[in-house]
Structure 1
Amino acid sequence: MTLQADQFAARSPLYRLQAGATLAPFGESCIVTTYGQGDESALLGHCALLDLTNLARYGLRGPAAAQYLGALGYQLPQAPNQALSQADGSHVLRLSQTEYLLLGSLHDAGSKAQREESQWHASAGQYLLPRQDSHAWLVLTGTCQAEVMAKLCGVDLSAPAFAVGQVAQTSAARINVIVAKLPLGEVPCLHILCDRASVHYFWGALLDAMQEFGGQPVGIDALP
């Protein structure tokens, strides 16, 4: 049976633009596995776009946030606007001296991050920042990513100006974005978080900027 996005309680705000794509259950939601455009994995190293909006994420803020995350076993970036990938495939972005953003792992469909958020307990000096419904999460891959973003964003995201592990809080296509340069395996990636209500527009802006390079959206089956 072909799965449809409306069969799931949680779905990406982009689901109407993903008609015809093949979906698979992903935790409590669904995710695109392929758009049926041939060998999508061949696009990863050049220019491709993934929608990871249904992958769990959450934030923490406060002077005790680092201690709380350390107790959960996370390795934390040493300074604001830095990011670290974790051994389990998740990522930690440090957005300020006391604010962190946790991006869940594809390896477990985000279940660990989702569990941590649901089991979060209040304590002095730190509080939870739910991010699942506030931010969409896109991943731009390949060697053309800096050239694509140069059409939309005033920040130089090329190497070495923007090295692996750096974070930029800026605007692209006139909306606020958080951009983190973190690979998925050996695939060079820019993780882009934007306002969920604006992602329909931003998805189109990215695809338009990718056309010059032959870029296309891909599903997670393309990933190694």
Structure 2
Amino acid sequence: MVNLQAEPFSERSPLYRKHAGAQLRQLGETTVVACYSGNDERAQRQRCGLIDLCNLARAGFRGSDAAAYLRARGYQLPERPNQAIAQPDGGLVARLSKTEYLLLGSLGDAGVRVAQEETDWQLSDQANYLLPRQDSHAWLLLTGAHVSEVMAKLCGVDLRPQAFAPGSVAQTSAARISVIVINAPIAELPALHILCDRASASYFWDALLDAMAEFGGQPVGIDSLLKP
């Protein structure tokens, strides 16, 4: 573990300036925040935590043949738009429209499988087109008992569990920017995956932390998810 500097990042998160003083770790071929305080952050993640997943792989596919292509690659797909389904390896596939899918990498393999999908795709006669999402969308994870209360301060959509069940996807606005919100609990841990425009990541990070303050919310590192 080392103190956060600009130089260690082979690929910087757009939020790297927000993580000064944090401890780092390697996750696959990228560098992520392990923790902020050096202490066990599992209690914080259960209460109200915010995690930067921007350096974990993600990719999109669109086209009338996208579903057949992804099934052939071994992915389980949601039946309808605005649904997400967890994959056996811990990744996620969200269906954003009739013919568009968003793949989110797994911590279990450090996002390698999804990163490989982007590398392997080739233009062909199939109506299936790659939508690179690594540089277009930032990826944040909001966790804990107060996730819906935090988002109620920023978003007009009702994201309480009774209205926004696990596996639900909302394409909406929060803090006046466009976001994709996916309800995907991690075991028993309430968790909302939030994707926003990468250029707005720093602004949205601060907006979330401001909304979290009432509930004692704090940033937490990847280690809080990797520990049981």
Q: 1:189 corresponds to which residue?
A: 191
Greater mean alpha carbon deviation, residues 130-139 or residues 119-128: 119-128
Q: 1:140 corresponds to which residue?
A: 142
1:5 Cα deviation after fit: 3.9
Aligned ranges 1:213-224 → 2 under 5 Å = 213-223=215-225, 224=228
Q: 1:38 corresponds to which residue?
A: 39
Q: Does the Cα contact within 8 Å between 2:84 and 2:167 map onto a contact in 1? A: yes
Alignment partner of 1:76 is 2:77: yes
Q: Does the Cα contact within 8 Å between 1:65 and 1:127 map onto a contact in 2? A: yes
Greater mean alpha carbon deviation, residues 177-186 or residues 152-161: 177-186
Q: 1:160 corresponds to which residue?
A: 162
Q: 1:20 corresponds to which residue?
A: 21
1:27 Cα deviation after fit: 2.7
Q: Does the Cα contact within 8 Å between 1:41 and 1:222 map onto a contact in 2? A: yes
1-structure distance, mates of 2:215, 2:130: 40
1-structure distance, mates of 2:141, 2:41: 14
Q: 1:205 corresponds to which residue?
A: 207
RMSD value, Cα: 1.2
Q: Does the Cα contact within 8 Å between 1:182 and 1:189 map onto a contact in 2? A: yes
1:38 Cα deviation after fit: 3.4
Q: Does the Cα contact within 8 Å between 2:34 and 2:221 map onto a contact in 1? A: yes
2-structure distance, mates of 1:2, 1:190: 29
Q: Does the Cα contact within 8 Å between 2:144 and 2:191 map onto a contact in 1? A: yes
Q: How many residues align?
A: 224
Alignment partner of 1:97 is 2:98: yes
- Scaled by the length of structure 2, the TM-score of the pair is 0.95
SS at the partner of 2:94? Answer: strand
Q: Does the Cα contact within 8 Å between 1:58 and 1:102 map onto a contact in 2? A: yes
Structure 2: which 5+ runs fail to align?
none
Q: 1:169 corresponds to which residue?
A: 171
SS at the partner of 1:169? Answer: strand
Aligned ranges 1:99-118 → 2 under 5 Å = 99-118=100-119
Q: Does the Cα contact within 8 Å between 2:84 and 2:94 map onto a contact in 1? A: yes
Q: 1:121 corresponds to which residue?
A: 122
Q: Does the Cα contact within 8 Å between 1:81 and 1:95 map onto a contact in 2? A: yes
Query: Which amino acid is 1:179 matched to?
Result: V
- Scaled by the length of structure 1, the TM-score of the pair is 0.97
2-structure distance, mates of 1:22, 1:5: 13
Q: Does the Cα contact within 8 Å between 1:5 and 1:30 map onto a contact in 2? A: no
SS at the partner of 2:25? Answer: strand
Q: Does the Cα contact within 8 Å between 1:154 and 1:172 map onto a contact in 2? A: yes
Query: Which amino acid is 1:38 matched to?
Result: N
Q: Once superposed, which parts of structure 1, at least 4 consecutive aligned residues long, lie more than 6 Å away? A: none
2-structure distance, mates of 1:208, 1:188: 19
1:37 Cα deviation after fit: 6.1
SS at the partner of 2:60? Answer: strand
1-structure distance, mates of 2:89, 2:123: 25
